[in-house]
A and B are shown apart, each in its own frame.
Chain A
Amino acid sequence: MFDNISILFQAPIFAVDLLVQGLLIGGIFVLAAYGLALVWGVMNVKNLAQGDMVILGGYVAYQCTLWGIHPILALPIAFVVLFVLGWGVYAAIIRRVVDRDMFTSLLATFGLSLLIQQALNLRFGPEVKIAEAGFGTFDIGELSIPAIRFVGLGLAAVLAICIVLFMRNSRMGQAIRATSQDPRAARVLGINTDQVYAFTYALNAAICGAAGVLVAMIWNIQPFYGLVHSIRAFIIVTAAGLGNLPGVIVAGFGLGVWENYSGFIFGAEFAVAAVVGLLVVVLMVRLFQMYRLRQVVR
């Protein structure tokens, strides 16, 4: 472990490489985390199936490459497929857990997560898959970075800007924000909150699907990787707080950087442990902040 740290100091180019790669990956984490924050803030549902929807989107892209469609063109396809699927999931499951206690939604979406990952395992098998986009590498000085990572980050940024503009300006976006502030008042003012919830959940699924396409292009997918993606989204949202878009972006990039550095320093076998360990740490920090708050109130 200490050998690896000293390598970082002896060859700073490695450190810069890890930083850039981490930032490029982090953009994708931001997308999934934003979707989670949306669903969490608007309808108070903790979606543990978040990561599995990401992976599902990845498999849509993979399937498209098998059919000879370029993965970048698979992005809108995955967006639409996951949107429809999200609407269906809302109608079948989430509608019934929205106003129940939060553990209910957590466990129901955990069941959904099991269902998705096992179905993917049956359909595609447990091997690690990549949706080959066929870009070369991109050289800056001594660094050589796969160009697809830049493309991925760019696409993520475009998508995020579109969603933010949609939430700000469209009629539906306004309705979603109104519902998240006060569902009862929104209902009184003639907003069909059930439809808003359905749209929100479907939009979240669609964002996850698009993020999944990017993951499949610049990284890899496997049916059981979903849980770690869910945990990443939870880390980012918990660290940033709800309704804090700049915080989500910073936390997402930070997580990407942390993952790359910890994977290098502790070794690849501890990569997942470093992510999940960070979740526990973030929860603990939040907890101590809360304790301080309680002391002040007292």
Chain B
Amino acid sequence: MSAQKLDLSLYGVLIAAGILVPLLAPAFTSQMAILWLMVLMAVTWDMTGGQMGYNSLGNIAFFGIGMYASAVVQIGIVYDVAEYTAAFGAIKVDFTVEQYWTGLLLGIGFGGVVATVFALIIGPFMLGLRGPYFAIGTLGLAVAVAELVSGWSYVGGGSGISMPVFPGEAASGSQVFYVLLFVLAILAHVVIRAIYKTRFGLAINAIRDDEDKAEAMGIHTTRYKVTAWMVPAFFMGMAGAVFGNMSGFIEPLEVAFPTATFGIFMVAMALLGGKGTVWGPVLGAILFHIVKEVTWTHLLGWQWVALGAIIIINIVYFQQGILGWAQDRWPSLFGVTVDEKTTRTGQAEAAK
């Protein structure tokens, strides 16, 4: 089976699972929605982390920025935002069905755009940092944005914003958000996979392998790096907007900028599945989510300690991840051609 066909059939499996599971087992709809969110996070993180070698610990900032941008737009089109947040949820605004939908769609688009613009502004500065400085800098950025938002009274500060209530039954609301996250996750994967096949994909791989050499070859590295960071920002911003509406209430530290949960989950998932592979993050996200959902409640509070242990074990003992290991083992399955002359076994045979 060629790599192309394999990819198509994997999309088929994913889409079938995405449609069938909520139909056959409606109880799992919200868990599946979180799964798609995690797939999206892992896949978009891998674009800079795996393919470009810039390991961001702060991509969660785009998620929260998108969430807040959409909240401001959705409330702002019918009511004054400052007054609404100052009342701490005491003001109940009745959104008509039409207002709700235009607000939601505008908010999602706006969330994506604001996060992308943020990446465009901050990118040239952050992406000038190399290696561990980039990781620490982005972590600091995510924490700083979260703290700034929780001190900003216009968006409710630390006490957060209640989002518009979905018009209609709660069950159909969760289905709507499920479909949105599902479509976003698949779309993100399709777009990012298509990007990897272009010259742009080759350029960011060159930056990962040796940035100075890539620059010497005439690749305008900063421009490529910033663009490559804007794609995850766009998808994370839209996902944040949807997730904010799904949770119904947003506040800075736990929902919008959860550095210690989603922020680190996305790195752990991409590493587990194999960073720098097309399907690794997806596999990692699915495995991680299943293991988390099945074992979490049995660990009686020790789950977060276990999470730290999982990350340590993963990074120290099994860094290449599942698909990374498989790719080393069977390169032809992944469409990777190995030049036998450059491998150790090939050189040994040539020496004979």
Is the beta-carbon distance between A279 and B316 smaller than 8 angstroms? no
Is the beta-carbon distance between A276 and B144 smaller than 8 angstroms? yes
Is the beta-carbon distance between B309 and A103 smaller than 8 angstroms? no
**Interface 9-residue window, one of A109-117, A144-152, A185-193, A211-219:** A109-117
Report the bound CA distance from A96 to B131 in whole Å.
Answer: 19
- Which residues A109-136 have CB closer than 8 A to chain B? 110-116, 118-119, 121-122
Is the beta-carbon distance between B151 and A231 smaller than 8 angstroms? no
Closest to B135 in A: A106
Distance in angstroms from B51 CB to nearest chain A CB is 15
Report the bound CA distance from A281 to B323 in whole Å.
Answer: 38
Is the beta-carbon distance between A269 and B132 smaller than 8 angstroms? no
Of the candidates A46, A107, A122, A266, the one whose C-beta lies within 8 Å of that of B315 is: A107
Report the bound CA distance from A272 to B16 in whole Å.
Answer: 46
Residues of A within 8 Å of B310, CB to CB, are 111
Residues of A within 8 Å of B136, CB to CB, are 46, 48, 106, 231, 234, 279, 283
Is the beta-carbon distance between A273 and B305 smaller than 8 angstroms? no
Is the beta-carbon distance between A104 and B158 smaller than 8 angstroms? no
With contact pairs A96-B317, A113-B308 given, residues A231 and B143 touching in the complex (Cβ less than 8 Å): yes
Please count the residue pairs between chain A and chain B whose beta carbons lie under 8 angstroms apart in the complex: 115
A166 at the interface (CB under 8 A from B): no
Closest to B133 in A: A283
Is the beta-carbon distance between A114 and B147 smaller than 8 angstroms? no
With contact pairs A103-B135, A118-B305 given, residues A112 and B312 touching in the complex (Cβ less than 8 Å): yes
Distance in angstroms from B68 CB to nearest chain A CB is 15
- Which residues B118-149 have CB closer than 8 A to chain A? 125, 128-129, 131-133, 135-137, 140-141, 143-144, 147-148
A138 at the interface (CB under 8 A from B): no
Q: Which of A96, A266, A272, A283 has the most CB of B within 10 A?
A: A283
- Bin the interface of chain A by size: 35 or more
B304 at the interface (CB under 8 A from A): yes
Is the beta-carbon distance between B311 and A231 smaller than 8 angstroms? no
Distance in angstroms from B123 CB to nearest chain A CB is 13
What is the interface size of chain B, counting residues whose CB is below 8 A from a CB of the partner?
39
Distance in angstroms from A97 CB to nearest chain B CB is 6
Of the candidates B135, B151, B307, B315, the one whose C-beta lies within 8 Å of that of A273 is: B151
Residues of A within 8 Å of B97, CB to CB, are none
Is the beta-carbon distance between A114 and B264 smaller than 8 angstroms? yes
Residues of B within 8 Å of A115, CB to CB, are 305, 308-309, 312
Residues of B within 8 Å of A106, CB to CB, are 55, 132, 135-136
With contact pairs A104-B319, A108-B315 given, residues A270 and B137 touching in the complex (Cβ less than 8 Å): no
In terms of DSSP, what is the predominant structure of the interface of chain A?
helix
Is the beta-carbon distance between B132 and A110 smaller than 8 angstroms? no
Residues of A within 8 Å of B317, CB to CB, are 96
Is the beta-carbon distance between B131 and A269 smaller than 8 angstroms? no
Distance in angstroms from A119 CB to nearest chain B CB is 5
With contact pairs A122-B305, A234-B136, A291-B128 given, residues A280 and B312 touching in the complex (Cβ less than 8 Å): no
Closest to A290 in B: B128
Residues of B within 8 Å of A118, CB to CB, are 304-305, 307-308
With contact pairs A46-B132, A276-B147 given, residues A110 and B311 touching in the complex (Cβ less than 8 Å): yes
Of the candidates A93, A108, A279, the one whose C-beta lies within 8 Å of that of B137 is: A279
Report the bound CA distance from A96 to B304 in whole Å.
Answer: 23
With contact pairs A231-B140, A280-B140, A291-B128 given, residues A119 and B312 touching in the complex (Cβ less than 8 Å): no
Of the candidates B143, B151, B264, B304, the one whose C-beta lies within 8 Å of that of A267 is: B151
Residues of A within 8 Å of B301, CB to CB, are 122
Is the beta-carbon distance between B158 and A269 smaller than 8 angstroms? yes
Is the beta-carbon distance between A119 and B125 smaller than 8 angstroms? no
Is the beta-carbon distance between A280 and B315 smaller than 8 angstroms? no
With contact pairs A103-B135, A107-B311 given, residues A280 and B141 touching in the complex (Cβ less than 8 Å): yes
With contact pairs A96-B317, A231-B140, A276-B140 given, residues A110 and B264 touching in the complex (Cβ less than 8 Å): yes
Is the beta-carbon distance between B148 and A270 smaller than 8 angstroms? yes
With contact pairs A270-B147, A276-B144 given, residues A111 and B129 touching in the complex (Cβ less than 8 Å): no
Is the beta-carbon distance between A227 and B143 smaller than 8 angstroms? yes
Distance in angstroms from B275 CB to nearest chain A CB is 10
Report the bound CA distance from A286 to B132 in whole Å.
Answer: 14
Closest to B49 in A: A103
A5 at the interface (CB under 8 A from B): no
Closest to A287 in B: B128
Is the beta-carbon distance between B144 and A273 smaller than 8 angstroms? yes
Is the beta-carbon distance between B305 and A110 smaller than 8 angstroms? no
Interface residues of A (CB under 8 A from B): 46, 48, 93, 96-97, 100-108, 110-116, 118-119, 121-122, 227, 231, 234, 238, 266-267, 269-270, 272-273, 276-277, 279-280, 283-284, 286-287, 290-291
> Can you list 27 A-B pairs with a CB-CB distance of less than 8 A?
A46-B136, A103-B135, A104-B315, A104-B319, A106-B55, A107-B135, A108-B311, A108-B315, A110-B264, A110-B311, A112-B312, A113-B308, A114-B304, A115-B312, A122-B301, A231-B136, A231-B143, A267-B151, A269-B151, A269-B157, A270-B148, A273-B147, A277-B144, A279-B136, A280-B144, A283-B137, A287-B128
Interface residues of B (CB under 8 A from A): 55, 57, 125, 128-129, 131-133, 135-137, 140-141, 143-144, 147-148, 150-151, 157-158, 260, 264, 267, 271, 301-302, 304-305, 307-312, 315-317, 319
